Structure 1
């Protein structure tokens, strides 16, 4: 053990301190990758965990939950039917509704004394004595710890003015919906939300020794299709499916970050081992075994991975908290619970383990060269050793792997796996790297040829490139990855936002929209009764068209349902043929987005069963269409049918078309004057901009990844060029000794970097455009719409940026080469 510690101290720890820049670069790469993984886990855990925590806090001992198909709930008579089922010890009615502005929504919980049977987090609030105290206060409610109210404060909630009878406290009550809720007697909650006689859920407590399967079957029969029957935890699962896009794209970003990290670490360790060849030679010469040297390298990689992963985990927690606050409202709206930062217990251990294993795997591949180095051969300069050549067999295997990855990407794309089709993009990215490795020889020769055209210093730079093909290829691929990812992500994001905007372009045709939600939110809240008549009476209003949206559960899948009327500008309706439009308005069936139809396993002409508060309804699928469904699948029905099926009278949106000659902005101001507070009025153009804004915010994580990859690539480039300088330190000293100037040494290093930058940027553009085109093919599965591939106008900027990155990374080693002391350089080794 003492010998092991001495060896690590002399040969490994010494390397850490001597080449601290390389150590810092490796730590940074691992820390960033680990941070991304923890951040993604935090986003995913917060989206689903917030709903799960709320559901668990309210359900307590409940074995089943009867919940509404939509937020309209179901008739209170369903509770009586459930209570009469044998084996039901308690059927606890509950109303859950969000009120207030989007930025500070409160959850209103309507309960009665039977809630005590649940033994939930609300148990102290639903005890008979507590509810009795509420009855002593006119319209009294209990406020959650973070609701922002004080005892005896009078508050206007909807049509009712209530009094805060008490402010709840305690850890469990603070965790429930983040403490942002109000507890009211059930009849009062129904009046506050204007839903007298309606419930959102019935929580079923089973009698002792009751068979769970039989109870579920009996309750389902008693409900008779008027509501959904499932375990209380099913609501969190439905929410998880609604935000799958956010979770999956974030996970793909973290995965690609680890792929980039593995490549860059391989690059760094390979160059480091090349630089430590004299040390390896010494160890071999005095009897050191190859296995021992490799174990020391892997131990070094383990330590770096653990430290980098731990640092990144702490940064990831901060990044996750920031990202949760930055998610657009349209993405979090489907959650229906206040988002709290909830980091899964496994997130940090998994991130540290992933960082460590990635570092070990990449270092192990680089450490293979130890087995190929003989003691005498290790003292040879770079380019003269067998280590610096790549066997034909390995290149053929790389080419085969690249072709296999391309085939896998094509098969995955054609299999239409929904969001998971994005795995094909990872296969395409892997194919880029493996094929570039297979053709490393021609690629390096092109870089050498370009360098030789840059004058006498360039000729010498070309010789240096030819002598170290592996180092040059690794450095060149660092630039390629940075440019390729930038082109792919920037171009794919721009294509996606453009396609989403184009698919919804018809909403911009309206002169004005009236909604209970802001323009960047999905309008699912019902507008006040009678508002449509008041708005229609505003001078200048030429035509008013009502519409309605709601999240509903179709076939166990959460979907967004549109209720449309004639003349609506909803894009899903506008892209239908006139015949299908008429059949839809007559209530002959429904129209589904392609992704929802695929999830429900139906197609045009098939029969679809829809659960509604009035029982199951059978309808026909009239058509499936391409439609932007990033959060949930989408369905369209007639407004009349939607009101009838889902017991949601009224409208969530009013589409306004101005009378001829009326100024649009003046009309909007006139409408704002007649709508109540909390109702939004905005132009069609603003509604369309809201869609683009939500998309861009939702893709913010990928933009952050771009910055990170650029920084990592710049550091890796600096590191490898510095290592290359150290390898050539003696020959640079000899050049200086025979009369070359400092300026010549400076130009030589810059010429090499410029050649690497030009070739790397060119490859990056080719790979980036190829992957961007491939993403456009995958978009139909990922986003539900057809995305047109359009090369962006910034390609030239990216290319020049890559060249600038190469030159910037080469400046420190170039300056170091110019300042090299001749005596020290010649006496090296």
Structure 2
């Protein structure tokens, strides 16, 4: 052990310190890769963690939870039956409802004195307040009200009887909450005799499975019976697509970092050949030398990953603040940034693994040189030739990967289609590895086009094929990613906008939610439909309603359809199906729900409702933009009856032909309450498009960050090339070469790498763009049309320009080399 440490100190760490620039180059790129992974994992972890934290803070030590199927909850009469079930020690009724939006969003929690039986943050935060003042509420520290103040919640003016404080209060929805006695909370929410959940504590020693069966029997299908953490499971399921797509995007940075580490380690082995040969001549084993190099690579990866963690935490926090409202609305908790403890470990491990794997490929050179041969120069091209058998195997594997990717993208109608992009990228990457010699030859010919400096660069390129291939692939990867991500995102946004475009045909929407949100939740006043219909200039008013509902481990939208509705859910259905749904004879189901529940046309769908389990026929599977979960369309009267949600959450308003639209809109606005929204169909369309654009912005931001990483990688690789050729460049300067000529040799090499890498990246990116857009059809469950746009060439050139900026510092450094020091090197 001591001998190994001495060997590392003498041979590896000393070289590490002497050539610190090379080490810093690798560490910097790995740090950015780590930051991206930490940031992405922080976004998904914060969403799930916020939901889980609120559930835990409220339910505490509860063993089971009876929860409403929809936001309408269930009848309070269920409480008595659950409390009487065998094995139940305590049944605590709760009402939970979201109020406000954006930064002002808070959770209303209604509870009675039985909540003191829970060992929870809720009890700790409000002990001594709930139940003693039937007209007062306890607010969280972030609510912004003082004790004794009067605040308006819903239609009720209530007195703040206490302000909770401390760590327990902070854990309840980040301090954004109001706790009220159950009866008062029901009046605030205008939901008399309604509950959202009953948390159940089993009696000591009771069989939990038996208690679950007893509670399920007591509920009789009118509500869900689940573990208290079921909401966090639903949240995790709803963002699985967003999570993995962002992880895949961020992982590209690791590939770029791996290329740089490969080049750095490759040059390290070449530079240390005299030291390695001495170790071999003194009896050192190849395996020991390789192990030392891998230890060094591990330290580089670990140091870079740890440096990137704080930056990743900052990126994640900023990303949470940029999530579109339609995403945040689908969760029943305020989403606050929670540092991803597990994510940090995953990111650090991935970075270390990438560094080690890339170093293994370069460190294999140690096995190819005998001690006596290592003392003499060995041509790089000889050392770096890949055996034909390896090329054949890689080509075969790559062909299989590409074939499977195309089959998955074209034939698989599920979220698994996302894997097609990964498989295709890996397959094309393998083909590029097999084509190393043609790629290097093309780069050499491209360099020769730059005159005398280019011809000299061409000679250098041919002497270091692996370094050049890795550098070309760095640029190609960046360009391919920018082209494919921006192209497929644009296709999704364009196709989504076309699917959403029919809402612009409606003159006005009156809704309980703003246009950028899904119209679920709060029911409009019962008389509002008649009020709007009486406004001069209004031709007709069509009621509609949507609500989130729990189906298994998923949270989906159930939408009530009425005659004449301009509805997105059934727009791809036949006219006969639309009429049958409105008449209550069946439902339409989005394609993703159909495949997850294995439903086909003609099947009977079992829906758990407030009135118990109901069965209804599936009439058609329809297109529905469902990136966060699917939807079921049902007749509006059935939704109101089965889910006990009378009324509407939005109204579609059409004006009389020839009427003054602005005047009618103003009249409707004056007739409705201040807390109700009125917006045109065009405004609704613009908000929907903006939500799609905002949702894609995060992955596009990651893409351009990776383009910047590519620039850093190119800078570092070319700087390493200058260091490797330092003696050669010094001799050129000694022979009378100008500083300008020396700089141009580096720029010519960079230009050749940029041309070949850019063209290769544009080709790979365009094909990957097609695969990604095809896969999006299955993922988004609408037809996403592939469109090649000339803008992609502009994006490719922009990404290439960003990367080429990295060639300027090495070129300047080469031109400023001190002749005597360069010639005396080594």
Band of TM-score, shorter chain: over 0.9
* Residues 1:403 and 2:399 aligned together: yes
SS of residue matched to 2:558: strand
**2:31 — aligned with what?**
31
CA-based RMSD: 2.3
Q: Which residue of 2 aligns with 1:552?
A: 549
Distance 1:810 1:345, change over 3 A: closer
CA deviation vs aligned residue, 1:107-161 (integer Å, no higher than 9, x gap): 111111222223332225676x6445314xxx21111222211111111111211
Question: Is the contact between residue 102 and residue 517 of structure 1 (CA under 8 Å) also seen in structure 2?
Answer: no
Q: Is the 2:508–2:654 Cα contact (8 Å) retained in structure 1?
A: yes
Aligned 8 A contact 1:372 1:386 in 2: no
Q: Does structure 2 retain, via aligned residues, the 8 Å contact 1:275–1:726?
A: no
1:184 and 2:180 matched: yes
Matched, 1:713 2:710: yes
Q: Does 1:754 align with 2:751?
A: yes
**Aligned-partner SS, 1:709:** helix
Greater shift in the superposed pair: 350-359 or 514-523: 350-359
Answer yes or no: is the 8 Å Cα contact 2:29–2:713 preserved in 1. no
Secondary structure of the residue that 1:572 maps to in structure 2? coil
In the other structure, the counterpart of 1:507 is 503
Aligned mates of 1:678, 1:303 — CA distance in 2: 58
Residues 800 and 38 (structure 1), Cα distance of their counterparts in 2 relative to 1, 3 Å cut:
closer
Change (3 A) 1:792 1:358: same
Output the CA distance in 2 between the equivalents of 1:329 and 1:573: 24
Q: Which residue of 2 aligns with 1:434?
A: 430
Instruction: Answer whether contact 2:586 2:617 (CA < 8 A) is retained.
Output: yes
Q: Deviations over 1:790-816 (max 9, x none)?
A: 123223323433553454332223233
1:222 aligns with 2:221: no
Q: Would you say 1:774 and 2:771 are equivalent positions?
A: yes
Counterparts of 1:472 and 1:124 in 2: how far apart (Å)? Answer: 63
- In the TM superposition, residue 653 of structure 1 has moved relative to its aligned partner by 1.4
Question: Are the aligned partners of 1:422 and 1:778 in contact in 2 as well (CA < 8 Å)?
Answer: yes
Q: Give, in whole Å, the separation in 2 of the partners of 1:409 and 1:681.
A: 46
Alignment match, 1:474 = 470
Tell me what 1:317 maps to. 313
**Is the CA contact (8 Å cut-off) linking 1:272 and 1:723 kept in structure 2?**
no
* Counterpart contact for 2:365–2:383, Cα < 8 Å: yes
Matches of 2:446 and 2:237 in 1, distance apart?
52
Superposed CA deviations along residues 138-186 of structure 1, whole A, max 9, x for unmatched, are x211112222111111111112111111112232122111121111111
Contact map agreement 1:564 1:638 (CA 8 A) in 2: yes
Deviations 1:479-529 (A, max 9, x none): 101101111111111111112212211112222222222221111122233
In structure 2, C-alpha distance between the alignment counterparts of 1:751 and 1:396, rounded to whole Å:
33
Q: Give the corresponding residue for 2:54.
A: 54
Give distance in 1, aligned partners of 2:132 and 2:213. Answer: 39
Quote how far apart the aligned CAs of 1:551 are.
Answer: 0.6
Q: Do the aligned partners of 1:382 and 1:727 also contact (CA within 8 Å) in 2?
A: no
**Which residue of structure 1 lines up, in the alignment, with residue 65 of structure 2?**
65
Give the 5 Å matches for 1:285-304: 285=281, 287-304=283-300
Structure 1 stretch 472-481 or stretch 512-521: which is displaced more? 512-521
Distance 1:143 1:458 in 2: 72
Residue aligning to 1:627: 624
Q: Distance in 2 between matches of 1:376 and 1:514?
A: 85
Provide Cα deviations, 1:185-231, integer angstroms capped at 9, x if missing partner: 11111111111111111222222332222222222122111111112
Q: After superposition, give the CA deviation of every residue in 1:701-724 in whole Å (9 maximum; x if it has no partner).
A: 312321221122112212222222
1:594–1:624 contact (8 Å) kept in structure 2: yes
Distance 1:731 1:243, change over 3 A: closer
1:633 Cα deviation (Å)?
0.9
Which whole-Å CA distance do the structure 1 matches of 2:70 and 2:110 have between them?
17
1:431, CA displacement in angstroms? 1.4
Cα distance in structure 1, aligned partners of 2:425 and 2:663: 52
Separation in structure 2 between the aligned mates of residue 285 and residue 668 of structure 1, nearest angstrom: 90
Distance 1:405 1:274, change over 3 A: farther
Q: Distance in 1 between matches of 2:587 and 2:268?
A: 63
Q: Kindly state the Cα deviation for residue 288 of structure 1 after the two structures are TM-superposed.
A: 4.1
SS where residue 292 of structure 2 aligns? helix
1:796 matches 2:793: yes
Distance verdict in 2 for CA 1:322–1:665, change over 3 Å: same
1:608-655: CA deviation from partner (whole Å, max 9, x where unpaired): 111111111110001001211011111111212211111111111122
* Equivalent residue for 1:272, pick from 255, 259, 268: 268
Which residue of 1 is the match for residue 247 of structure 2?
A: 251
What does residue 781 of structure 2 align with?
784
The answer to which of 177-186 and 612-621 deviates more is 177-186
For the 8 Å contact 1:58–1:121, the answer to whether it is kept is yes
Superposed counterparts of 1:484-503, under 5 Å: 484-503=480-499
| Aligned partners of 2:264 and 2:720 also within 8 Å | no
Unaligned stretches of 5+ residues in structure 2 = none
Segments of 5+ residues of structure 1 without an aligned counterpart are none
Secondary structure of the corresponding residue to residue 132 of structure 2: helix
What does the per-residue CA deviation read over 1:224-251, in whole Å, with 9 as the maximum and x for residues that have no partner?
1111111212222122212222222233
Deviation readout 1:258-313 (Å, 9 max, x if unpaired): 33333332233223333444443454455544233222211211211221121122
2:360 aligns with 364
Q: 1:517 to 1:277 in 2, by over 3 A?
A: farther
TM norm structure 1: 0.94
Question: Given that residues 267 and 724 in structure 2 are in contact (C-alpha distance below 8 angstroms), is that contact kept between their aligned partners in structure 1?
Answer: no
Residue 10 of structure 1: how far off its partner (Å): 4.5
Moved over 6 A (4+): none
Cα distance in 1 between the residues matched to 2:810 and 2:372: 29
Distance 1:707 1:790 in 2: 21
| Contact 2:731/2:823 (<8 A) preserved | yes
Q: Within 5 Å, which residues of 2 pair with 1:102-251?
A: 102-124=102-124, 130-131=129-130, 133-135=132-134, 139-251=135-247
Distance 1:709 1:15, change over 3 A: farther
| Native 8 Å contact 2:38 2:313 kept in 1 | yes
* 1:75-98 deviations in Å (ceiling 9; x for gaps): 111112222322222222211112
Q: In the alignment, which residue of structure 2 is the partner of 1:661? A: 658
Q: Measure, in 1, the Cα distance between the counterparts of 2:773 and 2:302.
A: 38
Equivalent position of 2:44 in the other structure: 44
Which residue of structure 2 aligns with residue 337 of structure 1? 333
How far apart are the structure 2 equivalents of 1:149 and 1:756? 62
Match of 2:670 among 665, 670, 673: 673
Pick the aligned partner of 1:536 from 521, 533, 536.
533
